[in-house]
Amino acid sequence: MARRLDEQIAARYPVGQRLRILDVGMGRGAQALRLARAGHEITALESDPALLRRVQEALATEPAGIRERFRLVQGEFRETGVHFLPGSFDVVLCHGVLTTSEEPDALLAGLARMLAPGGLLSLLVRNAGALAMGPGLAGDWTGALTTLDAPAATDREGRPVRADRLDALTSTLAGIAAPLHAWYGVQVFTPWGPDSGLPAAEELERLLAAEDRAGRTDPYRGIAAMLHLCGARAA
């Protein structure tokens, strides 16, 4: 499903355009590597030395052309202004980073300054408007009621993490001169079904097609587990 994010981002640009992309909090680097293989110039900012080493090892197995257009930078996500000049990137990815951010508005404002005219800020966040879906569909009525009364999210270890609402982020994006251009639901169906692993290839294609269409269609996209928001700087 991560490839759907790539497609949603690329849809703003002419086919074949080479983009300068900043990936803030690249994690294991899967998306950054995929975009580099597609011909884009990648700068990845990551604070975790272990993750940086892991991506460096993966890069070592790639062709020279991909290594040459992939730059790794160790640093805090809030310090983009220390490492890069304003307006340096066509696309800034901030996928999953807000879940652990204590000052999301300040972080997003810093990322928006990195955008060139016409640039795109891509956010992937937990959907605070759908947190009760999981416990509710599992028959955990206490959990559903608790979440509805005091929305909160937890990670796999049960630790609290941030979740965000579409209207609040829409307002934030407008305030940092990167107003909402498009938004999508991510994982509309898959989080709520039985965890039985990936289906066979033919069934997987149908699943991805259903997820893609639902993620673009109201009211389904509003109950997705995650939201993908694209804010666009004026050209």
Look over the chain and give the mean of its residue pLDDT values, rounded to a whole number. Answer: 91
Q: How many CB atoms lie within 10 A of CB 228?
A: 21
pLDDT at 194: 62
Same structural domain for residues 185 and 108? Answer: yes
Indicate whether 78 and 139 sit together in one domain: no
pLDDT tens, position by position, 95-108:
999 988 888 999 99
Supply the CATH number for residue 38's domain. Answer: 3.40.50.150
Number of domains in the chain: 2
Residues 159-184, buried b or exposed e (16+ Cβ, 10 A)?
A: eeebbbebeebeebbeebebebbebb
Q: What domain range is 153 assigned to?
A: 128-159
Q: Quick one: 190 and 110 in the same domain?
A: yes
- Note the pTM of the prediction, 2 decimals: 0.92
Mean pLDDT, to the nearest integer, of 8-23? 91
The pLDDT value recorded for residue 196 is: 56
